[in-house]
Structure 1
Amino acid sequence: MIRLGLLMLVTLLGVFMTLDRFGQGDLRTERRPEPATRASAATDAGAPSLTAPAQRFPGPPLEPSPEYAGATPEAAQVVPADGPVLYVTADRVNMRAGAGTDNPVVASLTGGSAVQALGPTGGEWVQVQTAEGRQGFVSAQFLTSDAP
């Protein structure tokens, strides 16, 4: 039993001496890549670009699908600007595909955004159109006719 303890002690001592002799320094620091130096926009303004510009390779010309081969594209439907202009009162409001919270969100409107009412404004939901032409429904409680 004593011989076994002495053998383990000598083995551990040999391992520690080997590690002490050959294990100098942090080996991981030699393998780490050097951090990239970042230049601010102010110091780099006017300097020529060191990267090549991205090349664009055009694809084949677009062709209509077979079911629309002889048809011409329809013009986008534009709603006349005859409805009242309403403004969003909350910080962010969801514009939905239909009247009700169970309909999917079409867009998100920020506070103060101007929208045009496309339908009656007296109900719980108002059909509106954004300046970009997107149409949807917004809860009437988040709309007002008073400009921000």
Structure 2
Amino acid sequence: MIRLGLLLLALIAAIALTWATYGEGDLRAERRAAIPETQPETTPTDAPSLIEELTRPEPDQNTGPIVEAESQTAPVTDEFPGPPLQPSPEYEGQTPEPAQTALPAGATGPILYVTATRVNVRAGASTGDAVVVALDRGAAVEALGPTDGDWVQIRDTNGRQGFVSGQFLSSQAPR
């Protein structure tokens, strides 16, 4: 036990000697030098000179011209743009017709269209509710309730009912 204590004491002495020899000695001296010991008292007449002193650039700071970010940013180029797109020979000269969406059978409410690529129909008016079905862009649905809220109760073409966020529905069919 005494040997362990002596070994520990020798280790601490060796570390302190190494720091004193190769280090700065007093590790807090640099921080103390950065903080002035006394603050000069300022009066209203000293205010302009104090502001000038604080805004004057340090001699080692870069005081060159300001370069705009646009001139520093390299232009983005397509390294591999690929060939231009061409229609298949069997469809050349034809324009695609918009997809026809079936309307819900026996719809009595306003017809709305899904504007998102894919939207979840949920069991309740919250993202925490279970997903009943997912609808693709352009799907026609019947509104069963008010259409001006955050969530709209709908029925799809297969008769499934649920709620969809109103931001993904429109009275105009998407193009």
**Short-chain TM bin:** 0.3 to 0.5
- Rg larger in 1 or in 2? 2
TM-score by length of 1: 0.46
Scaled by the length of structure 2, the TM-score of the pair is 0.39
